[in-house]
A and B are shown apart, each in its own frame.
Chain A
Amino acid sequence: MAKYVMNRLFAMVITLWIIVTITFFLMHAVPGSPFNQERNTSEAVQQNLEAHYHLNEPVFIQYAIYIKSLATLDFGPSIKQSSTSVNEMIGRGFPVSAELGITSLIIAIISGIVLGIMAALRHNGAIDYMAMTFAVIGISVPNFIMATLLIQQLAVTWEIFPVATWASPMHMILPSIALATGPMAIIARLTRSSMIEVLNQDYIMTARAKGMTTFQIVTKHALRNALLPVITILGTLVAGVLTGSFVIEKIFAIPGMGKYFINGINDRDYPVIMGTTVFYSAFLIMMLFIVDIAYGILDPRIKLHKRGE
């Protein structure tokens, strides 16, 4: 096990380095510059700005400088918001995005699994159809429509919740729901299909024959196996949801991390592009690693150390 973990950690660093390198050169190959303005500025002003951020150096030198500062986990200052460092941006934005993400993940996982199980147990019954219709709506209605709908109805017309911003737990409810519907629907569908499969297995028949109640069968025997596919997508889902959703955060004016991914690229804010990419990649790789470990725990047939050797 320890050896497997070591090997994986080493592979993770290499993967990350490849991502950093590719992103760095791609980013500089894209036309445009962080100082592009439609308004007039003089040549000299542009040059002073470029010199200030070392953008007048050859790209390879810039790369070397970047890797060096990255080794000390310093992402450098943002060019657009010159008085803020990228580390500060992530430090401020990530906890907010994570808070929102965790809340909506809890909603999504619990309601998704419950919906899936109910649908599987009443396979082809009314509840199944209702749950799956609901899931299809959840997948096909984009979250910004969901968000606008929730604001219009619950905040503006009924005035139950505040419209936007991030000031109190009340402010968290609408964005969490809006963000949760998509993942919830995915989880519900996955749970349903694997649950149906598991419920037809021989050992479930045996359990039933022994006189166990449906509740016991589901919780003790079926669920653990049915959840494997859910765990698989959970890694990517967690990384995606926790690092922020651009759309939801924009609509609800939430000071999370989501906007940096998009605005960084639009502004050609090189340090922000790199910082967010590195952060997200590291997070995602870590999540996939945790998922692999979780497999081993949930399914004894998967033996980690053999793969690692």
Chain B
Amino acid sequence: MKKIVTVLLSLLLLIGIVGCTTTENSSSNSNSGSDDAKQEDGTKVLKLNNGSEPTSFDPPIGFDSVSWNALNNLMEGLTRLDDADQPQPAAAKEWEKSEDGKTYTFHLREDAKWSNGEPVTAEDFEYAWKRLANPDTASPAAFLSYFIEGAEAFNTGEGSEEDMMVKAVDETTFEVTLESPVAFFPNLISNPAFFPVHKATVEENPEWHTEADTYVSNGPFKLTKWEHDSEFEFSKNENYWDADNVKLDQVNWAMVDDTNTEYQMYKTGELHTSDVPADLSEELFSDGKAQVEDQSGTYFYRFNLEMEPFQNENIRKAFAMAVDQQKIVEFVTKNEEKPAYGFVAYGFEDASGGDFREVGGDLVTTDADQAKELLEKGMEEEGYDQLPAVTLTYNTSDDHKKIAETLQQMYKEVLGVDVELANQEWNVFSDEQKQLNLQFSRSSFLADYGDPINFLESFQTDHSMNRTGWSNEEYDSLIAKAKEETDEAKRFEYMHDAEELLFEEMPIFPIHFYNQVYLQNEDVTGIVRHPVGYMELKWADIK
């Protein structure tokens, strides 16, 4: 016994010593990407990590990326986004728009089938969309249906199911009437909330979506195994209308919640893609291993206009202009984000092919001198001898802390103002921010659908996403006009005007736009990651 223990003991000590000395070479002799990714028998099995158990594979319920990234490949809506993020015919082979832009008629493919072999019908869509808006479903994504006439009333309990204007005209014709002309409707309905469900299955078994054997899907893949909390498995769906273009035989999804572990598994070939661990990001970027894709969202700060000193526009502007976004992305986050000088992210094309952000230009600039002037002017306007104490609050996290500390430093240097930092647990923070109890706080926005209006509607008076106390009638009317406008050029004009107005009054200021950074095995191709939307594996392949 003594011997065994001595051996064990020295072994562990040895590991400790060797562990400290070899960490450096081990990362250089790693075999990432060089392993043959294909299985020995030639089948193509993609190995991905979902992070954690999907909250639900029931389309209207699992309103988050751990559910919808996978679900996007199990199911298919009327449209699907292509590799240029444009909506293409999917379950619908074509559609017409009425002249007023409010009525869409979709023609479904005759060969679109469920994984159980039954055809995908217009009735399935009608049933699924009404289910999304039904208050009894309690879907967190229900608000996405509000574009459809009668959906909001139905969801809030004021209207009835019959008055929601979605109708299966016949087996393959599906008609939808909207509240207002929504130019991006074909893009919107690629969202998993608008996926169909197999009516007969759902009516027969409300728990159909909880296990692999009862799950019925209409997408490129079907769910063949689901070990809860541990892993799930997709296989190619032979009943899919476009099965010839689906190259993978199988997708295995692990649920690894720890980025370091994920990265280690990627290095040993147990996974084909991985996030980038924060400690290694610089190294992986300089090696050119980390890949970057845009993500439509903005990291920004909110002023509270109901608390001193931020009721004053010039003081808000001073605080905004004192910030150097370029420096923050270059030296603090170091994640290759694009610095943000407007609220709407890159990637939205207008009628003449220009990018919304580029056309809109920089709406806030970094200017220390002007910031100082504005602060003085603002203090004079308010009659302050001394600026009221400012507390910057963020939700507890290392990343947010780094940015907050940088801002604190910038305010000290540029404005000579001592800003206090405070952090709160996320849920508490979120509550306080919504109740306007925070003076100056960290925020983020990720787009739910691919149109600038999704960003801009947030700051309408009393909108649930406003959270600043800012209210401007002209802004509200510009947003309302943009929502009613059928002419694309004019619609974008309204949105540009609205964004300019937002920055004239500066209730918020942006830091950077989000991106998606990942590592991917060199043999894997064709995975599409949209700026707005969810992962596409339909065209993925393994060399």
Q: Measuring CB to CB, which residues of chain A are less than 8 angstroms from any residue of chain B?
A: 30-33, 35-45, 48-49, 51-52, 80-84, 88, 92-93, 111, 114-115, 118, 130-131, 134, 137, 148-157, 159, 162-166, 250-253, 255, 259, 266-268
> Which chain B residue shows the least CB distance to A257?
B229
> Which chain A residue shows the least CB distance to B30?
A156
**Which residue in A32, A114, A253 is a CB contact (below 8 Å) of B431?**
A32
Cβ of B18 and Cβ of A153 under 8 Å apart? yes
Cβ of A164 and Cβ of B430 under 8 Å apart? no
B432 in contact (CB, < 8 A): yes
CB-CB < 8 A to B265: which residues of A? 163-164
CB-CB < 8 A to A149: which residues of B? 15-16, 19
- Beyond A149-B16, A156-B268, 12 additional contacts (C-beta under 8 Å) are A32-B427, A44-B143, A45-B155, A83-B58, A111-B5, A115-B5, A152-B19, A156-B26, A162-B268, A163-B265, A165-B231, A253-B254
Given contacts A33-B431, A38-B443, contact A166 B230 (CB under 8 A): yes
Cβ of A250 and Cβ of B464 under 8 Å apart? no
What 1/0 flags go to B216-235 for Cβ under 8 Å of A?
00000000000111110000
> Which chain B residue shows the least CB distance to A50?
B138
> Which chain B residue shows the least CB distance to A53?
B138
> Which chain B residue shows the least CB distance to A121?
B2
CB-CB < 8 A to B369: which residues of A? none
B87 in contact (CB, < 8 A): no
Cβ of B430 and Cβ of A114 under 8 Å apart? no
What 1/0 flags go to B237-274 for Cβ under 8 Å of A?
00000000000000000111110110011011010000
CB-CB < 8 A to B446: which residues of A? 38-39
* Interface residues in B97-145 (C-beta closer than 8 Å to A): 135-136, 138-143
CB-CB < 8 A to A114: which residues of B? 1, 5
**CA–CA, A33 and B444, complex, Å:** 19
Interface residue tally of chain B, by bracket?
A: 35 or more
CB-CB < 8 A to A81: which residues of B? 53, 55-56
B280 in contact (CB, < 8 A): no
> Which chain B residue shows the least CB distance to A114?
B5
B200 in contact (CB, < 8 A): no
CB-CB < 8 A to A115: which residues of B? 5
What 1/0 flags go to B189-214 for Cβ under 8 Å of A?
00000000000000000010110000
**Which residue in A49, A162, A251 is a CB contact (below 8 Å) of B270?**
A162
B384 in contact (CB, < 8 A): no
**CA–CA, A252 and B426, complex, Å:** 25
User: Nearest 9 pairs between A and B by C-beta?
Assistant: A32-B427, A52-B138, A255-B229, A40-B465, A253-B256, A44-B156, A42-B143, A255-B230, A83-B210
**CA–CA, A61 and B439, complex, Å:** 36
**CA–CA, A39 and B445, complex, Å:** 6
Given contacts A83-B61, A151-B261, A250-B257, contact A42 B146 (CB under 8 A): yes
CB-CB < 8 A to B58: which residues of A? 83
Cβ of A93 and Cβ of B229 under 8 Å apart? yes
**CA–CA, A306 and B448, complex, Å:** 68
**A191 CB to nearest chain B CB (Å):** 13
**A205 CB to nearest chain B CB (Å):** 24
Cβ of A152 and Cβ of B138 under 8 Å apart? no
Cβ of A83 and Cβ of B458 under 8 Å apart? no
Q: List 10 A-B contacts (CB under 8 A).
A: A39-B465, A42-B464, A45-B141, A83-B209, A83-B210, A84-B53, A154-B15, A155-B268, A156-B30, A164-B265
CB-CB < 8 A to A93: which residues of B? 229
Cβ of A266 and Cβ of B61 under 8 Å apart? no
What 1/0 flags go to B418-452 for Cβ under 8 Å of A?
00000001111011100000000001111010000
Q: Measuring CB to CB, which residues of chain B are less than 8 angstroms from any residue of chain A?
A: 1-2, 5, 8-9, 12-13, 15-16, 18-19, 22-23, 26, 30, 53, 55-56, 58, 61, 135-136, 138-143, 146, 152, 155-157, 207, 209-210, 227-231, 254-258, 260-261, 264-265, 267-268, 270, 425-428, 430-432, 443-446, 448, 458, 463-465
Cβ of B55 and Cβ of A82 under 8 Å apart? yes
Given contacts A84-B210, A165-B231, contact A45 B1 (CB under 8 A): no
Q: What is the number of contacts between chain A and chain B, taking CB atoms within 8 Å?
A: 169
**B296 CB to nearest chain A CB (Å):** 12
**B467 CB to nearest chain A CB (Å):** 10
Cβ of B464 and Cβ of A155 under 8 Å apart? no
> Which chain B residue shows the least CB distance to A36?
B430
**A161 CB to nearest chain B CB (Å):** 10
Given contacts A31-B428, A152-B23, A255-B255, contact A41 B260 (CB under 8 A): no
**Which residue in A33, A44, A134 is a CB contact (below 8 Å) of B152?**
A44
CB-CB < 8 A to A40: which residues of B? 143, 448, 458, 463-465
> Which chain B residue shows the least CB distance to A164?
B261
**A268 CB to nearest chain B CB (Å):** 6
Cβ of A37 and Cβ of B9 under 8 Å apart? no
Given contacts A130-B9, A153-B18, A156-B26, contact A41 B264 (CB under 8 A): no
**CA–CA, A266 and B429, complex, Å:** 12
Cβ of B156 and Cβ of A163 under 8 Å apart? no
**CA–CA, A42 and B444, complex, Å:** 17
Cβ of A251 and Cβ of B140 under 8 Å apart? no
**CA–CA, A261 and B56, complex, Å:** 20
> Which chain B residue shows the least CB distance to A130?
B9
**B142 CB to nearest chain A CB (Å):** 5
CB-CB < 8 A to A165: which residues of B? 230-231, 254, 256, 270
**CA–CA, A201 and B138, complex, Å:** 70
Q: Which of B139, B140, B254, B465 has most A Cβ within 10 Å?
A: B140
CB-CB < 8 A to A80: which residues of B? 55
Cβ of B448 and Cβ of A92 under 8 Å apart? no
**Which residue in A48, A118, A154, A162 is a CB contact (below 8 Å) of B5?**
A118
Cβ of A151 and Cβ of B230 under 8 Å apart? no
> Which chain B residue shows the least CB distance to A78?
B55
Cβ of B430 and Cβ of A32 under 8 Å apart? yes
> Which chain A residue shows the least CB distance to B444?
A38
Cβ of B430 and Cβ of A38 under 8 Å apart? yes
CB-CB < 8 A to B228: which residues of A? 84, 88, 92, 255
CB-CB < 8 A to A111: which residues of B? 5, 8
CB-CB < 8 A to A155: which residues of B? 264, 268
CB-CB < 8 A to B209: which residues of A? 83
**B436 CB to nearest chain A CB (Å):** 14
**B269 CB to nearest chain A CB (Å):** 10
Cβ of B15 and Cβ of A153 under 8 Å apart? yes
CB-CB < 8 A to B2: which residues of A? 118
**B350 CB to nearest chain A CB (Å):** 23
Cβ of B256 and Cβ of A82 under 8 Å apart? no
**CA–CA, A163 and B207, complex, Å:** 34
> Which chain A residue shows the least CB distance to B255?
A253
